[in-house]
Amino acid sequence: MKENIFILGVGRNTPVYIDLALSCNYEIGGLFHYNNEKNGLLIHGFEILGSFEDLFSQYKIAGENFAMSMGDNEIRREVSLKIREYGGKTPNLINPTAYISRFVEMGTGVIVHANASIQADVIIGDDSVISFNVDLVHNTIIDEGCFIAGGSIVGAYTHMKKYSFVGIGAKIVSGKVSTIGENSMIGAGAVVLNDVPDYAIVAGVPARIIKNIPRKY
């Protein structure tokens, strides 16, 4: 018998997560949005049951499965932590076409989309997203709440700190980069040859700092 899973954070990316959960042999129990504006609407036949507030006040969470489809790294991580605090489960969703080495260490709530390749001795922290056709080379460390967009390559011995973001088709070159900083962003198509500081946005070929992100605290 298939287990139910509930998808949190209704947006343009939600159908991708529905598709992934179905590919991982789950049944979709329903969807939850951050507010009540979309209650009762259907996304590919699956109903939006309520808001996050409704979920935490009116629904059974303990023992149920949840997946976060929101794009914001910190919000995804925050909601995942709250779900687990309430006894809910955030299973790893790994597309059947992805290659995962038997020597990979993976936390919980990790998303791995189609045709990703994750080599030996990679460590992936909780609530990180590895998108379509991403290549994680051996001995990389991906901290919690990171997002690596489609077609990107993260080279060997790179440490991506929490909440960092890698844009579509970016390349982080093995042997050149040891650290991608916390809350940093790498632009689409960038070729990264140097370490990236915390809260920095880099872009270009080769990648250079183009902006610093204001710290929230």
Give a three-class secondary structure readout of the chain: CCCEEEEECCCCCHHHHHHHHHHCCCEEEEEEECCCCCCCCEECCEEEEEEHHHHHHHCCCCCCEEEECCCCHHHHHHHHHHHHHCCCECCCEECCCCEECCCCEECCCCEECCCCEECCCCEECCCCEECCCCEECCCCEECCCCEECCCCEECCCCEECCCCEECCCCEECCCCCCEECCCCEECCCCEECCCECCCEEEECCCCEEEEECCCCC
181 contacts 198 by C-beta, under 8 angstroms = yes
Whole-number pLDDT of residue 217: 61
Q: How far is Cα 78 from Cα 16, in angstroms, rounded to an integer? A: 21
Whole-number pLDDT of residue 173: 97
**How many whole angstroms from its chain centre is CA 186?**
15
Whole-number pLDDT of residue 163: 97
215 contacts: CB under 8 Å, gap ≥ 6: 183, 199
Whole-number pLDDT of residue 71: 87
Structural domains of the chain sorted by starting position, each given as residue range(s) with its CATH number in brackets: 4-85 (3.40.50.20), 93-212 (2.160.10.10)
Stated pTM of the model: 0.94
Whole-number pLDDT of residue 41: 93
**How many whole angstroms from its chain centre is CA 93?**
10
Whole-number pLDDT of residue 1: 76
Rounded mean pLDDT for each run of 10 residues along the chain, 217 residues in total: 93 95 97 94 96 95 97 95 98 98 98 98 98 98 98 98 98 96 98 97 97 81
**What residues form DSSP beta bridges with 165?**
147, 185
Give me the phi and psi of 124, to 5 degrees please: -120, 125
**What residues form DSSP beta bridges with 155?**
none
Q: How far is Cα 36 from Cα 178, in angstroms, rounded to an integer? A: 44
